[in-house]
Chain A
């Protein structure tokens, strides 16, 4: 998993990185020149009888040249920054897909809309995108201002409650990139991460086809036990598992939780042990998180973990 703005993997990040490197290079050159001239001015030996009017004329000329050079550099910066900004603003290219990004305290919800509402896909904390295709993002927040940031793929875009903000990204190389909330949003702002999985179009289509399917029914007795424990406990008040009676929209959807890489918004790898600790007492892992401690008895907890693990 990679999170670095120095390794741009798409055109948007590439433009930002190029602009950054340009600004940095020019600034380094200017800085070094200014330092050298300052040193030279400090160290040079003054002639005893210098012609004062000539010095003033030379000084005026030098200052004029330096001012013109500075103005040209600033104009160059302005033009390149406007050009880069225009490139970021317009999602172009054929076959663009649209994903709704919804920010919550403290997790992400990615919704893939479709013509039929039953084909909508909701993927918490995991954004899957096809490689080489512009992906249009419509971002909104459900509570406070968050900011969507995948350093490898694009700069930041704020999520505002009550207003849709638009941006786009495109991944040219397949890979798994880590994203992060970039606007302080409360206790667990630092643990509000997500992953972007960029994969070839056929694998992406297979993924979305799989995500459309409702949850598979419990196969074994243990899974059945877990299913029943889930439906008769606190879980069902906040979470959705499509294909069952659980349909609450307060927490992340769990229909395919077994296939996800991380839990708790990129905080922990999705293993049975971590999930167990999370379900039993999430406050011990992310203090202040909206998930309350759930006093399931040990048998029920183990069965619930087996059931959730089976939801692939």
Chain B
């Protein structure tokens, strides 16, 4: 009886150890988002010429992906998003690290905001930023207010920056509010 329970305990701990360590995979090819224009979310169902687009894709290919979130952080500065949003603190553009979402906090909403632009200043980056990179930016924008698991959030910046790292911030509960 005693031997049985020992064997069970050892077996269980080995199984636990073997499955506990989940390494993040970076499948660059599989995660590559093809140019599926029909799958893109749009602001309205009216569109000139071509037939109306299909509804927005409900999920982001880079959800829970630390590498993509880090790449998004790099692109956020590289594409000068910080020029208006000031590393998430807000300036000419609204802050992105708080809990207020004017146009929705879902990945598809953020994707739409970047691709289509929004009234009062947010330009449209349609055809300017590749879909893959837009999804990386989406992942980073979500991480700014802690909408991703803590092990996915960036822990440091490449350059000196006077702000708390994303993974040390308070996770906000998104609420639909604010004026455009």
Q: Which A residues have a C-beta under 8 Å from some C-beta of B? A: 143, 187, 232-234, 236-238, 250, 281, 283-284, 287-288, 292-295
Contact = CB atoms under 8 A, between A and B. Distances in A.
Interface in B128-169: 128-133, 158
A233 B127 CA distance: 5
Most chain A CB inside 10 Å of its own CB: which residue of B26, B28, B158:
B28
A311 B110 CA distance: 37
A292 B28 contact: no
A295 B35 contact: yes
Interface of B: 26, 28-29, 32, 34-35, 78-79, 127-133, 158
A284 B28 CA distance: 9
B82 to A, nearest CB: 14
Contacts of A293: 32, 34-35, 130, 132
A234 B28 contact: no
Contacts of B128: 233-234, 236-237
A89 B118 CA distance: 57
A234 B32 contact: no
A233 B130 CA distance: 9
A292 B132 contact: yes
B123 to A, nearest CB: 12
B130 A295 contact: yes
Dominant SS among interface residues on chain A: loop
Most chain B CB inside 10 Å of its own CB: which residue of A236, A283, A292, A295:
A292
A238 B129 CA distance: 10
A287 B133 contact: no
B29 A234 contact: no
Contacts of B32: 281, 283, 293
Contacts of B131: 292, 295
Nearest to A292: B130
Contacts of A295: 34-35, 130-131
Nearest to B28: A287
B78 A292 contact: no
A143 B130 CA distance: 22
Contacts of B133: 234, 292
A287 B29 contact: yes
B39 to A, nearest CB: 12
Counting from the closest, the 7 A-B pairs by CB-CB distance are A295-B35, A292-B130, A287-B28, A292-B132, A234-B130, A283-B28, A292-B133
A287 B34 CA distance: 15
B53 to A, nearest CB: 16
Nearest to A142: B158
Contacts of A281: 32
A230 to B, nearest CB: 12
